[in-house]
Amino acid sequence: MVFTVRTHEVVALFLVVCISLLPSALSTAPQVPCFFIFGDSIVDNGNNNRLKTTTKVNYQPYAELLGFKSAIPPFATAKGTNNQSVNYASGSAGIRNETGKQLGQRISMNEQLLHHNVTVSRIARLLGNTPSRKDHLCKCLYYMVVGSNDYINNYFKPEYYSTSKKYSTKEYAAVLTREYSQQLKALIKSLNNHLPDAQFIYVPALELSEHIPVPGIKFLLKPCCEVSKTTGLCVRGKDPCPDRALHLFFDNFHPTSAAYKAAAAGAYAEILRLIQ
């Protein structure tokens, strides 16, 4: 089966807490002291490497414009040494717990949120019950990109999952939206326990899809590498296309750096617009 589903169903958003505290864009330090990333293979930078799964992923995370000097560490190796930024994302994971199970182990969104509770407790222990703790968590930026696996590694795999028998596509979209908003509420509740006066602003990140023009990109559907007909991923060991910047997609699911840069620039501009 050749996969044609792109990222239109993906939920991608930024959650910004107390953003009035964002330091000046002119500073050389990162513009936020902490950045938490949740999601799937689009942003997994190592969490799946020790899991039993065929979806090990290692993609550059989403941090360049914000001024981070190095990649945000994956939760799998963060282990309390860093109280600033953590990446919880896991390839093949989804909003629903069972999503991606036919590929092996993965960390579902619900488990990623449990991991974030671990981080918040660590930060609380390190900083104590002081104004600096409130100040620290208050300046954090949250990024989530999730949802495509709930289709490509769940709904559209009726041989493994019953969701397509249970729900029409419209009902399933409503189920996912409901579950995802419960997850967001749990995240906000845990933040509110630490930050009673916090305010939250959602910034929908720009969708990456063939419908959105990206400057310089010529191939909107044709992936850059030769993809496997069964997995939709790049065939191992084959050379990718000579100029990745001309393609929107690297394989059948994952956008190229050029596409990420365009989406990041759009999301970043949107954050600045909302906080100014």
By CB under 6 A, name the binding residues for ligand NAG.
Answer: 33, 82-84, 97, 110-111, 113-114, 117, 126, 132, 136, 186, 189-190, 193
Contacts with 86 (C-beta within 8 Å, 6 or more apart), sequence order: 36, 37, 72, 73, 74, 75, 78, 115, 116, 119
Question: Least distance to ligand NAG from the beta carbon of 255, Å?
Answer: 28
82's torsion region: left (phi>0), alpha (psi -120 to 50) or beta? beta
Which residues sit opposite 87 in a β-bridge?
37, 74
Question: Least distance to ligand NAG from the beta carbon of 156, Å?
Answer: 20
Question: Least distance to ligand NAG from the beta carbon of 207, Å?
Answer: 26
Q: Do 255 and 148 form a contact (C-beta atoms < 8 A)?
A: no
Q: Do 253 and 232 form a contact (C-beta atoms < 8 A)?
A: yes
Q: Considering the complex, state which of residue 104 and residue 266 has its C-beta at the smaller distance from ligand NAG.
A: 104
Q: Considering the complex, state which of residue 182 and residue 199 has its C-beta at the smaller distance from ligand NAG.
A: 182
Question: Least distance to ligand NAG from the beta carbon of 70, Å?
Answer: 13
Question: Least distance to ligand NAG from the beta carbon of 113, Å?
Answer: 4
Q: Considering the complex, state which of residue 167 and residue 219 has its C-beta at the smaller distance from ligand NAG.
A: 167
Q: Considering the complex, state which of residue 61 and residue 255 has its C-beta at the smaller distance from ligand NAG.
A: 61
Dist. CA 64–CA 97, nearest whole Å: 31
Dist. CA 147–CA 173, nearest whole Å: 10
